[in-house]
Chains A and B, each alone.
Chain A
Amino acid sequence: MELFKAFMLTLASFFIVFVIISIFYLFTALSYGTLIIEYLLSQQILLALWVSISSSTIVMLISLLFGVPTAWLLANKDFKNKGLLETLIVDVPHSFPPGVIGTTYLFMFQTTSPIGTLLQNLGISLVNTFWAMILVKTFISAPFLIGILTMRFRSLRETELEVIAKSLGASEFKTFYTITLPLSKNAIVGGSARCWARALGEVAGTIVFAGAIIPGITQTMPAIIVFEAQTSLPASLTLALILATISITILILFKILSERNQ
């Protein structure tokens, strides 16, 4: 038993140290103090930050709008091949390299494809736009929210609280509004945070489908970090530090919000 404990503890410690060192090594970029100030005053960086944060927030809101009903359906309705559908919606996007998604969308929405032609006839062009970035990010990030919410809705179903609410006269909507949603607040906040963070960090799919080079429209911080890494490592590390600080701060705010709900 002692040997088992020592074994588990050793492996866990290695992993924890690995993660902590990885995170804190980023902060060595603090030594480039003047560079940080220079970047924080740069209009290009501020615009990239704005694009990154606003696009991730829009992706989170879209994911909530479509993800909550999707998770509710997966958790509460029984139908044929539900397991397969859940794997497609929740698990497959996790395992897809984002660059592959970008390429797929590029192919799907190019002007020679049926969808691309249809959109062009309607005067809509998606490739290399802000909304192309939103599309890629949503595909990659929404499953984080849907997965967490499906688990929560499923565990709620097992408690039979929704059945009791209905037996007391609540309609399906009132049950959802008065029981399911309030009892899923933490899952909603936690899932939204993960979805937002994933969208913020997305880069490969954005570069392929949205270009990620137009300042203020498609150029995001992660894209600049990747491009800078090829020419100037200090610049890349400094930008990464700025993005990570903002990201961690916002995730801490999500965490505080989640704990307040408990």
Chain B
Amino acid sequence: MVTVKLKEIGKNFGEVKIINGVNWEILKGELMVLVGPSGCGKTTLLKIILGVLDPDNGEIYFNQKLMNKVSISERNVGFVPQNFGLFPHLNVNENIGYGLKMRNIPKNKIEMLTNKFIGMLKLEGLGLRATNQLSWGQRQRVALARALAIEPSLLLLDEPLSAVDWASRKEITDEINRMQKRLRITTIYVTHDINEAFEIGDRIAVMHDGKIEQCDRAECLIKTPKSNFIAAYLKNRRVGK
């Protein structure tokens, strides 16, 4: 469990500025939602934190440790992409245990931990199934179990509901909330849906044109939007929370 701090992060693709001086702090154990319209730079920022992309400038800290030069495989970040990213040639058990195997954990311990997460995410009886024989909801839970099994310092969820049918959405957001509260893993949840952001996040960071425009609790965003963009963006929200 870490505090994540980004200082003046910038990233260009050719001449195009995708991330434009992002300063952002995610607290230990917090469920932070990163929301913004498509193309605002959310996924790029997530990939920088994950370690897939190097920022052109700026610094990334996990607690007080500078992470810019730390490779993706050493960051200990659990990542669940939009399409779940399950390994199609491995069954459910093997998918969940993959990260443990890469850490050279003994076979019997891998089995024990895999069973623990199978139980925690209600996947009992599915361990030997091929991933293409699972429902969308089950696939999402396998991807989450696989990311959690490595006991990550940070969990990144990139639009986790985008490939999920409407019937499974509530079930999955509840599952993510329950897991996050139980394990208290620092989590960044990316979405373009403002309603989803308000339903799930402790705090919400609104991104626009490569910058975090405001990062606050839901009620503060509503009461005191810091820009016209945020005020207009929040109007798309269904009335509720």
List residues of A whose CB falls within 8 A of some B CB: 159-161, 163-171, 174, 178-179, 182-183
Q: By the criterion CB–CB under 8 Å, are B150 and A169 in contact?
A: yes
Interface presence of B75 (CB below 8 A): yes
Stretch of B15-23, B59-67, B83-91, B181-189 at the chain-chain interface: B83-91
Q: By the criterion CB–CB under 8 Å, are A164 and B73 in contact?
A: no
CB-CB nearest in chain A for B104: A169
Q: A160-B83, A169-B102, A183-B88 are in contact. List 5 more A-B contacts (CB 8 A).
A: A163-B79, A167-B75, A167-B78, A178-B98, A183-B87
Q: By the criterion CB–CB under 8 Å, are A169 and B85 in contact?
A: no
Q: By the criterion CB–CB under 8 Å, are A170 and B85 in contact?
A: no
Interface residues of chain A: helix, strand, loop or mixed (majority): helix
CB-CB nearest in chain B for A185: B89
Partner of A167, one of B73, B83, B89: B73
CB-defined interface of B51-73 with A at 8 Å, one 1/0 digit per residue?
11000000000000000000111
26 A–B pairs (Cβ distance < 8 Å), ordered by A: A159-B83, A159-B85, A161-B85, A163-B50, A163-B79, A164-B81, A164-B85, A164-B87, A165-B98, A167-B73, A167-B75, A167-B77, A168-B78, A168-B98, A168-B102, A168-B146, A169-B73, A169-B74, A169-B99, A169-B102, A169-B103, A170-B73, A178-B98, A178-B102, A182-B89, A183-B88
Within the complex, the shortest CB–CB distance from B42 to chain A, in Å, comes to 15
Within the complex, the shortest CB–CB distance from B48 to chain A, in Å, comes to 13
Q: By the criterion CB–CB under 8 Å, are B99 and A168 in contact?
A: yes
Q: By the criterion CB–CB under 8 Å, are B81 and A170 in contact?
A: no
Give 8 nearest A-B pairs by CB, closest first. Answer: A168-B99, A169-B102, A164-B85, A167-B79, A170-B102, A166-B72, A166-B73, A182-B89
